[in-house]
Amino acid sequence: MNPQLPNITQILINTFQTLIAQFISFVPKLIGAVVVLGIGVLVAKLVSALVGRVLKQAGFDRIGDKLNEIDVIRQLQTEIKLSEIVSKVLYYFILLVFITAATETLGVAAITGMVTALVNFIPKLIAAAIMLQVGVLIADVLKKGVISLCASFNIASGRLLGTVVFVFILLITIISALGQAGINTELLESSFNLLIGGVIFAFAVGYGLASRDVMANLLSSFYTKNKFKEGQRIRVEGITGQIISVDGTTLTLKTGDSTTTVPMQLLQTKTVEFLD
């Protein structure tokens, strides 16, 4: 018996009928998805424009102005306007929500899952951005505080110390923000801890050796600040004069036509005679 050959014509007809039926059933879904997407674009534009205008009138950009004053951001030669950033983020968030609805209308599970994951990631990204912004502001405040404190004690390396504090807080903030965004930062945290430990040790040793005299004067000032006042006449190491100023590290005497600066550390180790 001869084997029966398949009916090629019937197979082709069935295939084309299936394709036509699937295309006919897909067209309404496609039209629905396009309509949903079009509505989403309009809603996203209207809402983002409204929110951006309200935030701008409410003075929300003042926070961005404070960020623009930070040295690091100023060097980037860019201007941060938070009202525009928030409105843009809101625009894309709303658009992604409507894209999710459009892909569900199409019935393409793979695309729907990908867009849904992206929509769920946006709140984490916003939280990370807010954390980074707050961290930068705090780092800048601490930097200025360290510089001012060092200036009050006449420490010449105040700006360097302030920069170190700023970078340290900024790195901690970046790592925390990445963790908030759902990125694994275990390796980064371990490397950061080792790096910071080595830098702190080296800096402490080097700076301690270089500034031991300054620290000695600061400690001496703490213990003797109530003993010496402007206007007193004293004699120390054969130098006689009237105190005209006392700061964190030195005492200045008026000795005839000249002035003499005496380290506070010397007042702790030498005999001081009060002539008044």
Total of domains in the chain: 3
Q: pLDDT tier at 43 (50, 70, 90 boundaries)?
A: very high
What is the per-residue pLDDT for 1? Answer: 46
- Asked if the model's pLDDT at residue 220 lies above 60, the reply is no
Residue 181 covered by a domain: yes
Q: What is the pTM of this model?
A: 0.55
Written as one string, the DSSP assignment of 226-261 is TT--TT-EEEETTEEEEEEEE-SSEEEEEETTEEEE
Residue 120 covered by a domain: no
List, in sequence order, every residue forming a beta bridge with 15; answer none if it has no partner.
none
Residue 18 covered by a domain: yes
List, in sequence order, every residue forming a beta bridge with 30; answer none if it has no partner.
none
Can you point out the beta strands (E) in the chain? 233-236, 239-246, 250-255, 258-263, 272-274
- Asked if the model's pLDDT at residue 61 lies above 80, the reply is no
pLDDT tens digits for 95-109? 888 888 888 877 777
pLDDT tens digits for 131-183? 888 888 888 888 888 888 888 777 767 788 888 888 888 888 888 888 887 77
Query: Measured in whole angstroms, how far is the alpha carbon of residue 17 from the centre of its chain?
Result: 60
- Asked if the model's pLDDT at residue 86 lies above 80, the reply is yes
Query: In terms of domains, do 84 and 23 share one?
Result: yes
What is the per-residue pLDDT for 137? Answer: 84
Residue 115 covered by a domain: no
Cα–Cα distance for residue pair 250/262, rounded to 1 Å: 6
Q: pLDDT tier at 50 (50, 70, 90 boundaries)?
A: very high
Tokens of 196: 């910071």
Please name which of 40, 14, 211, 6 lies closest in space to residue 119, comparing C-alpha atoms. Answer: 40
Listed in sequence order, the residues at least 6 apart from 147 whose beta carbon sits closer than 8 Å to its beta carbon are 158, 159, 161, 162
Residue 118 covered by a domain: no
Residue 44 covered by a domain: yes
- Asked if the model's pLDDT at residue 72 lies above 90, the reply is no
Tokens of 274: 């009060």
What CATH number is attached to the domain comprising 254?
2.30.30.60
| Domain membership of residue 170 as a residue range | 129-210
